[in-house]
Amino acid sequence: MTARRLAVVIGVLIAAATMMHGTAAQQRQRFLYAALPGVGGGNNLKYGGAGILVFDIDHSHKFVRRIPLQGTMPDNGRQEAIKGIAAHAPSARLYVSTSRRVAAYDLTTDKLVWEQSYDDRGTDRIALSPDGKTLYAPELGAPKWIVADAATGARLAAIDKPGRPHNTQFSDDGTRVYFEAEGDTRTMSVVDAKTRTIVKELGPFGNMVRPFTFNGRQTLLFANINDFLGFEIADLKSGAIVGHVEVPGVTAGKSPTHGIPSHGIAMTQDETEIWIADNANNYLRVFDATVMPPAMKTSVKVRDEPGWITFGIDGSLAYPSTGDVVDVRTKQIVATLQDEHGADAESEKMLEIDFAGGKPAIAGDQFGKGKKK
């Protein structure tokens, strides 16, 4: 082969590779899924109506479509309230828990796959195992969590815990599940995911525990508690409370939605910051988590009362429940969520799902937690 022909062949190969790379890049799409009505666990339709709203992250979070809340389970004629959301990309499943049921949707067709009501009750904030096989479903109005097969929704087991089962989180390694129950208890429970038994109690905290997060090594847990603008810190090895961190110099009012000063907490994936919701004052308060105890760093004003915070898959964007999209590095609002009618869309039940070639490739989490190992 002559040098000239070799150069031509190489040029063709480079051009083909460039085109293939460009095609692959175009096929990669990032979407935010927000389940509504999902503000404060209520059924208020003024924040974007009902359904699962999909937004295009790479195009200024433009509204893409609304997936109807399909199914037949009744709730005495009332609009069902969304309580939690989870997804698993390899199995192409999206799960929402509601005041009526748990429902599973196919991410490729947007169609309902199954729905289950455990003991004729609704379900609070669900947790999905990292392998996508197991759901933990906290029953509304009963002191227990249902362990279910994520493929069918079939009940596998039940775990009793006093109080009103509420927020639930899986560790990223799939070994632990964290239970938070409302009521007289001021403790949290740690569950061994293999044996499905409670192996440790955390606390007592200074008040009833609300939203919480933890670091990637599972050594520290950070939790909002009632009647406090800030958070407490639990040592996950000993179970003891080792920190009580308040937002300094701010009058702590009460949330019109949740009735407490702070409902919403998340840790950045690099574990350098902890973000919390200041409900009454409509702020996100950001703390430096590289020091102990964490120190107040800055604040971000949002358009409404924040009641939850999560992050996108790569950790660069923060999603408070207000529908504001915040750049994590600059702390600037870079977009706001609006539905197909131009109305502000808000939800405490959101996560990112990325697609490649039209198929789900990776799913994010409704919780914002640390990822360092």
Angle at 260 between CA 333 and CA 293, to 5 degrees: 70
Residue spans of the domains in the chain: they are 30-363
Helices (H) and strands (E) in the chain, counts: 1, 29
Domain 30-363 has CATH 2.60.40.10: no
Would you state the pLDDT for residue 257?
86
Taking 80 as the threshold, does the pLDDT of residue 181 lie above it?
A: yes
Q: Give the CA count within 13 Å in the CB-facing half-sphere of 183.
A: 17
**pLDDT band, very low/low/confident/very high, at 343 (cuts 50, 70, 90):** very high
Would you state the pLDDT for residue 213?
98
Tokens of 264: 């919403």
**pLDDT band, very low/low/confident/very high, at 232 (cuts 50, 70, 90):** very high
Choice among 22-26, 59-63, 121-125, 175-179 with the minimum mean pLDDT: 22-26
Taking 60 as the threshold, does the pLDDT of residue 149 lie above it?
A: yes
Higher pLDDT among residues 258 and 51, named by residue: 51
DSSP state of 21: H
C-alpha dist (Å) from residue 82 to 211, 276, 324, 347: 16, 22, 19, 9
Would you state the pLDDT for residue 2?
52
Q: What is the mean pLDDT of residues 74-86?
A: 84
**pLDDT band, very low/low/confident/very high, at 136 (cuts 50, 70, 90):** very high
What is the residue-wise DSSP string for 148-194?
A: EETTT--EEEEEE-SSEEEEEEE-TTSSEEEEEEESS---EEEEETT
The candidate with the shortest Cα–Cα distance to 233, out of 205, 198, 210, is 205
Question: What type of residue sits at position 51?
Answer: G
Q: How far apart are CA 144 and CA 166, in angstroms?
A: 10
What DSSP element (H or E) covers 3?
helix 3-27
Q: Specify which residues 38 forms β-bridges with.
A: 347
> What is the pTM assigned to this prediction?
0.92
Question: What type of residue sits at position 341?
Answer: H
Q: Tokens 């600059």 label which residue?
A: 330
Q: What is the mean pLDDT of residues 194-211?
A: 97
Q: Are the C-beta atoms of 308 and 329 separated by less than 8 Å?
A: no
Q: Which residues contact 184 (CB under 8 A, 6 or more apart)?
A: 162, 163, 208
Q: Count of CB atoms within 10 A of residue 282's CB?
A: 16
